[in-house]
Amino acid sequence: MSNRASRVLGIAVFALTLGLSSKGRADEDVPEIPIDPGRVVDFTIASHPTLRASILDLRSAERELEFEEGRYPYTLQLVGGATRSTTASARDGVSSVSTQDSVNVGTQISRTFPTGTRAAISIDGAQELHRTPVESGPTYGSAVRASIAQPLMRGAGTTIGEQGLRLARINRTVAELARNRVASELTRDVLIGYWELWFAHSAVRIERGARRLARRELNEANQKIAEGVLPPVDALLFETRLASLEESVLSAIATRRQRALSLSQQIGAPEVFSADLVTSAESPPQAPPVPVRAQALQIALSTSPEVQELASQLRSAQERMSTAGDAYRPRLDVEGYMQLAGAGDRTVAPVLQQIGRASATSVHLGLVYELPLDQSRKVAERAQALLAVRMAEERLRAARQRTQLDIDSVLVEEQMAHERVSLADQTAKRAEAQLDAERQRLEAGTGLPINIRQAQDDLRQAQLRAVRAKVDLWESVLARQHLTGVLLQQISARVEAADQQTR
H-helix or E-strand containing 95? Answer: strand 94-112
356 and 305 in a single domain? The answer is no
pLDDT of residue 145: 95
* Report for 213-217, 218-222, 252-256: range of highest mean pLDDT: 252-256
- What CA dihedral angle connects 455, 456, 461 and 465, to 10 degrees? 90
Strands 94-112 and 75-91 turn out to be antiparallel
- Has residue 94 been placed in a domain? yes
pLDDT digits (tens, 9 = 90+) for 123-171: 999 988 776 655 666 888 999 999 999 999 999 999 999 999 999 999 9
404 and 308 in a single domain? The answer is yes
What percent of the residues of the chain are helix, what percent strand, and what percent coil, each to the nearest 5? 60, 20, 20
- Find out whether 482 and 185 touch, Cβ atoms under 8 Å: yes
pLDDT surpasses 50 at 25: no
Give dist(CA 279, CA 201) in Å, integer: 8
Give dist(CA 120, CA 150) in Å, integer: 12
pLDDT surpasses 80 at 230: no
pLDDT of residue 280: 84
Strand order across the beta sheet in which 360-370 lies: 75-91, 94-112, 118-131, 136-151, 331-345, 360-370
| Residue type (1 letter), 407 | I
- Has residue 375 been placed in a domain? no
Give dist(CA 194, CA 201) in Å, integer: 10
DSSP β-bridge partners for residue 88:
97
Give dist(CA 303, CA 33) in Å, integer: 36
Which letter does DSSP use for residue 272 in this model? T
For 88-102, 299-313, 314-328, 452-466, which range has the lowest pLDDT when averaged over its residues? Answer: 88-102
11 and 45 in a single domain? The answer is yes
473 by Cβ neighbours in 10 Å (0-12 / 13-18 / 19+) ranks as buried
- Find out whether 124 and 134 touch, Cβ atoms under 8 Å: no
89 and 134 in a single domain? The answer is yes
pLDDT surpasses 50 at 333: yes
308 and 237 in a single domain? The answer is yes
Domain count, the chain: 2
pLDDT digits (tens, 9 = 90+) for 27-43: 444 556 788 898 889 88
- Find out whether 328 and 372 touch, Cβ atoms under 8 Å: yes
Torsion sign across C-alpha atoms 236, 237, 238, 242: positive
pLDDT of residue 363: 95
H-helix or E-strand containing 370? Answer: strand 360-370
83 and 221 in a single domain? The answer is no
The confidence band for 268, taking pLDDT boundaries of 50, 70 and 90, is confident
Give dist(CA 38, CA 277) in Å, integer: 15
| Residue type (1 letter), 371 | L
203 and 299 in a single domain? The answer is yes
Other C-beta atoms closer than 10 Å to the C-beta of 253 total: 21
Give dist(CA 460, CA 431) in Å, integer: 9
- Mean residue pLDDT across the chain: 85
- Has residue 159 been placed in a domain? no
Other C-beta atoms closer than 10 Å to the C-beta of 462 total: 20
- Has residue 325 been placed in a domain? no
- Has residue 296 been placed in a domain? yes
Give dist(CA 462, CA 474) in Å, integer: 19
- Has residue 169 been placed in a domain? yes
Segment 438-462 shows an average pLDDT of: 77
Give dist(CA 278, CA 201) in Å, integer: 7
244 and 306 in a single domain? The answer is yes
- CA 125 from centroid of its chain's CA atoms: 56
Report the helix count and the strand count for the chain, using DSSP H and E.
Answer: 12, 8
pLDDT of residue 162: 92
Task: Report the CATH number that the domain containing residue 468 is assigned in CATH.
Answer: 1.20.1600.10
Domain carrying residue 106? 76-112+117-154+331-370
pTM (whole model) above 0.85: no
pLDDT of residue 367: 95
Extended strands (E) in 13-74: 33-35
- CA 112 from centroid of its chain's CA atoms: 35
- Find out whether 304 and 296 touch, Cβ atoms under 8 Å: no
- Has residue 376 been placed in a domain? no
32 and 180 in a single domain? The answer is yes
- Has residue 287 been placed in a domain? no
pLDDT digits (tens, 9 = 90+) for 46-99: 888 999 999 999 999 999 999 999 999 999 999 999 988 887 777 777 777 778
477 and 447 in a single domain? The answer is yes
The confidence band for 238, taking pLDDT boundaries of 50, 70 and 90, is confident
301 and 364 in a single domain? The answer is no
> Under 8 Å CB-to-CB from 304, ≥6 apart: which residues?
399, 403, 483, 484, 485
Angle at 376 between CA 371 and CA 380, to 5 degrees: 125
Torsion sign across C-alpha atoms 258, 263, 265, 270: negative
405 and 497 in a single domain? The answer is yes
* Of 370, 398, 431, the domain-final residue: 370
